[in-house]
Amino acid sequence: MTTERYIRILAGSFILVSLLLGAPASPLYVSSWFLWFTAFVGANLLQFGFTNFCPMALILRRLGVSDAAPCAR
């Protein structure tokens, strides 16, 4: 998998988990403060779309995740 695909999976997972923990109607509700994490992830995705800079991409590259998908044969 590529860096961008990992970013999409992680961002989606973070958003879903923070909504589960922050929405009062959720059975896993902990605190409404978790909704700030949802906003943080959304803001990072928005600025990534405009600037093509993502802190998670830097972390994934240092962990050895490739930027481009291998050619299909």
Per-residue tokens: 24 = 């009062």
Q: What is the pLDDT of residue 73?
A: 56
Residue 6's nearest CA partner among 49, 57, 63, 69 is 57
pLDDT-derived band at 70 (thresholds 50, 70, 90) equals low
pTM: 0.81
Count CA within 13 A, CB hemisphere, residue 6.
18
The string of DSSP codes covering the chain is --HHHHHHHHHHHHHHHHHHHH-TTSTT---TTHHHHHHHHHHHHHHHHHH---HHHHHHHHTT--SSPPPP-
pLDDT-derived band at 69 (thresholds 50, 70, 90) equals low
Per-residue pLDDT tens digits for 11-68: 999 999 999 999 999 999 999 999 999 999 999 999 999 998 999 999 999 999 988 7
